[in-house]
Amino acid sequence: MWRQRKYITMVLSTIILCLWITGCGDRKVVEKQVEVNGKITALNEQGGMLVVSMDKFIGQDKKMPDAAWYSISDNATIKFNGKKLPWNDVQIGSTVKVWTDGMMLTSYPGQATGLRFEIITQDNGVGDASGKVTGVFAAGEGVNVERFIEIYGVKHKLLPFTQLKKGSEPAQFSDIIVGQQVKIWFAGYEFGTEKFVTKVVIDR
């Protein structure tokens, strides 16, 4: 009898402990979400967006803006003006609020998962810079190729995921010709004096 009572007591204690830890019964575990504000400066084919803060910086010299790649969780939504926005309609240059679970890989830019996305303002299509192409360069082969565009004598590096468009249509790097007018968008961070281009639109 004593052993039976001890066994029942242990079982009841285990059940109570389980309810307390997992938040069963009347307890409800609410996941804390962290809000991030910034500008979308790049998009990649894996469905991720690079968001660069416009008012938060890393380091005491405040030269490196806070930046991170946000992948989209399975249940995440992207909205603009209260309506769902298809991924294909997300534009580089738009401002956005991102809600995350606070987990961030400590690379630069960082890497995190977005739980919710709200586009605040859409990109105006003007770009970060514009001008006449004075040079187009490529070095290396295959996956190691590096591409550069020169505008009015200033050389900029294109990243592997840089969007290329001619008007509103997709374009190829070979479509960029010296003498053309282009608009370009930057990644929002740089190393040394080199700026990275994440979008090029060739004027028709």
Sole residue written with tokens 């309810």: 19
DSSP character at residue 88: G
For residue 173, which phi and psi values (nearest 5 degrees)? -60, -35
pTM above 0.85, yes or no: no
If we measure between CA atoms, which residue out of 203, 190, 49, 187 comes closest to residue 125? 203
Average pLDDT for the chain: 84
Q: What tens digit of pLDDT does each residue of 79-118 get?
A: 999 999 999 999 999 999 999 988 888 889 999 999 999 9
Tokens representing 136 are 């187009």
Pick the CATH number of 34-121 from 2.40.160.10, 3.40.50.1820, 2.40.50.140, 3.40.640.10: 2.40.50.140
Q: What tens digit of pLDDT does each residue of 146-157 get?
A: 999 999 999 999
Are 57 and 98 in contact by the 8 Å Cβ rule? The answer is no
CATH 2.30.29, domain 129-202, yes or no:
no
Q: Where in the chain is the domain with CATH 2.40.50.140?
A: 34-121
What are the CA-CA distances from residue 77 to residues 32, 40, 97, 184, 189 (Å)? 17, 16, 12, 28, 27
What pLDDT is recorded for position 32? 60
Q: Poorest-confidence range of 30-44, 130-144, 170-184?
A: 30-44
